[in-house]
Structure 1
């Protein structure tokens, strides 16, 4: 059974891998045997240390995914440095908070460009390579806001709802070509994006009261879902968005 989850010899790109969920996914894939190309805007030193402690190969690619411009270099650098590309995790994302009546076009565009546009075109570039080799796994990090509306985050909700839709569309196009496209929808996790919520005592209490598990998620709680969707164990799983949410959507 453990052979189904073995990623030895695989190469994975993980965007937004410098902290939080992206870092936890990179480490989880490395623990399963994959080589890691970690993409982000800031230092990858901590992620490098954690990945290399598993004896996995690692390369850091500095890139700002608010633009599609770096995408070609991300793909080519990964293949040249690590020898291939088998797994893509679209995790990079930002959030802007404001009442919808006051939300600016600049904040709308910034979130959509990073969370949705770059994720699609990075999937497109990776997909071309994966289709040519007849196999590959793409994992999009969606959100509870792929299913729900939320408040004061209109562009984030739009981007994550769109990412769930793109996940299903690409699955329909590429499943027969050997490429699995799926998503993970994290619940309320301890990450940079939730700092404002966790520091608001009233809002934090409201959120915790609604989570059946009774706690905020830890980034390591994503590890099993990520390895499953990256591995042979999920070869017949296409177009799903897997909630990892402490039971939030069940309530």
Structure 2
């Protein structure tokens, strides 16, 4: 049996929330290099401009839109801009998210002292932002009768990490919502609308660098070294490591993958520590 090469995203219109971030922008580059049209949706004009310049250098057809994933009116206005520019939405990647020091325990801050608004911030941007963007852009995908929603979960969703209770809980909610939305879309709209998630392992980003790298020495923190010791491949992920899995989940080559959360973690989730 000959397996066809169906890893094709040519001319697909893919909206990426948090698309100016480290991981989101890398996904945008991968999709664009492989013929897709990308819409970068994020807050912060400077980051949007920098991402746009990088995509322009790669000759990637793209649109940048400034909007908050927590503001439905801004998301609806952004969706209208996408439809005006491209006429449809083929895929949504919910990459907006992150942790906050205000929801992180450390030597000076116990769990009992963490403020409620720190939890709310992390839960909102990771979980509620995923829900709202899926509602707004998902309607356009339903109009097409086919398409992909790809959420960004985390290793924390499988086994919560120490120090970051809000982020772990928020990503667990994203994984659960991914499964729920997959069933809901198939049962109520179309079996050709697929919903999946990726669960990145440990990637160095601006949000977590302070936890993993000692700023004064440039060496791994105790936490960073522990992660490396428990990752069979012995390194942190590079943003590029996400690209092939993302392309696969967006393309027809994964047409029977639905409601799944795919680890991209260098073996971290497979290692018992012994």
Judged with a 3 Å threshold, the aligned counterparts in structure 2 of structure 1 residues 3 and 83 are, in CA distance, closer, same or farther, namely farther
| Partner of residue 56 from structure 1, selected from 57, 60, 73 | 60
1:107 counterpart = 2:118: yes
Q: Which of 136, 151, 167 matches 1:156? A: 167
> What is the CA distance between 1:3 and its match in structure 2?
4.7
Residue 64 of structure 1 deviates from its aligned partner by: 2.4
Q: Size of the alignment, in residue pairs?
A: 251
Paired residues for 1:88-167 under 5 Å: 88-96=92-100, 97-98=104-105, 99-167=110-178
Tell me which moved more, 30-39 or 76-85: 76-85
Query: What does residue 16 of structure 2 align with?
Result: 14
Tell me which moved more, 82-91 or 198-207.
198-207
**TM-score, length of structure 2 as denominator length:** 0.87
Structure 2 unmatched ranges of 5 or more:
215-220
Kindly tell me: are residues 180 and 109 of structure 1, through their superposed partners in 2, closer, same or farther at Cα, counting changes over 3 Å? Answer: same
Confirm or deny that 1:79 pairs with 2:79: no
Return structure 1 stretches of 4+ with deviation > 3 angstroms: 66-69
**Cα 1:66–1:111 shift into 2, 3 Å:** farther
> Equivalences for 1:172-251 in 2 at 5 Å?
172-175=183-186, 177=190, 178-200=192-214, 201-251=221-271
- Give the greater-gyration-radius structure (CA): 2
How far 1:12 moved relative to its partner? Answer: 0.5
Q: Secondary structure at the match of 2:15?
A: strand
Provide the residue aligned with 1:4 in structure 2: 6
